[in-house]
Chain A
Amino acid sequence: MAPSTSSALTLKVNGEKHTLSVDHRTTLLDALRERLDLTGTKKGCDQGQCGACTVLIDGRRAVSCLQLAVAAEGREITTIEGVADGDRLHPVQQAFLDLDGFQCGYCTPGQICSALGVIEEHAAGWPSAATTDIRPEAGVPELTAEEIRERMSGNLCRCGAYVSIVQAVARAARAEEETV
């Protein structure tokens, strides 16, 4: 018997539950934008290469263009719309604004969601390809500009606002450390 090619499912996005019926081919990116009207998440390459569609899934950054919506059921999804605390911007958002971490802004929601992941991963002690000594005994690597560039390399910015993006991530990470 041919399997059913669509499913009714519930997606938890920014703390809110949405029940919808989707064709299994629907990516999380398309479900967010076309079905839930959450158009903050952007479609760039649609091939997992540019990072514009980055969201957080169970607190970890992921590209929503390669995530099937049906496979995201039961997981906590956070999009750029869910990052601020009401009218108060998240420190990462504020840092991007204050330091001009963008030009046209198209990649920015993905950059910000990715930066949230970077700050969390770094705080958890994860090394990166830029980390000289990855042994656990070496401790948490300092979040230098080189570390930020490596950790953010999955987010392309065609305007080339990288210098300011690195500064914004560094400032937001420092602010986060100070509040802990």
Chain B
Amino acid sequence: MKLYLKIWRQKDASSPGKIVDYTLDGVEGDMSFLEMLDILNEELVSKGEEPVEFDHDCREGICGTCSLQINGEPHGPDRLVTTCQLHMRKFKDGDTIVIEPFRAKAFPVIKDLIVDRSAFDRIQQAGGYISVNTSGNTIDANTIPINKHDADEAMDAATCIGCGACVAACKNASAMLFTSAKVSQFALLPQGRIEATERVQNMVRQMDLEGFGNCTNTGACEVECPKGISLTNIARMNREYLSAISKG
């Protein structure tokens, strides 16, 4: 099939960017979206032009590196997939596809379609861990039984890949789904309860400092999340935070 691509090109963080039009022929349905871009880049390189830079790594939907806003949606029109798992069979011959970087003040563009998501790292550094030493000198793993339901829910929250689609989709560029997923994972496990009060406050403080917007419960994040992280995590974080600040 033949596609008309409108791609955001930007030299570096300090330069202005713009949409550039490309036409690409010979795209097949079995290709992933990124393989389609590979072909475009191969063409650009052979013409001596600079290829379109985009973030990607594992290409199997788990590393969370790929991060494209495709036709107005993070990771494109398909559900529960990352851009690398989006296949071209979701498009048809003659389609126009607008490809932009994830947009948020807290995610500045580095080049073309690549954004800086280190804000997410800093939120995790503020408290997204359990403060135990890695010496291995701890209790046996089966000493504290954990209710299967809680363990499963913690796992569901923990599947977040930190791609930033939630921020990109949110009209407020809010990072609540991301932050709440980590807060939830630990809040649900007995090991994580010990520091729960400080953790939620520290992580929320960092999230606010990074310049993400406020949550207005539109639910766009949940719909666009490639891992299906649930809004119940945000509610849980709201609860955790309320109880933390009421404890003072």
B partners with A: no
Residues of A within 8 A of B (CB): none
Could you list which residues of chain B lie within 8 angstroms of chain A, going by C-beta atoms? none
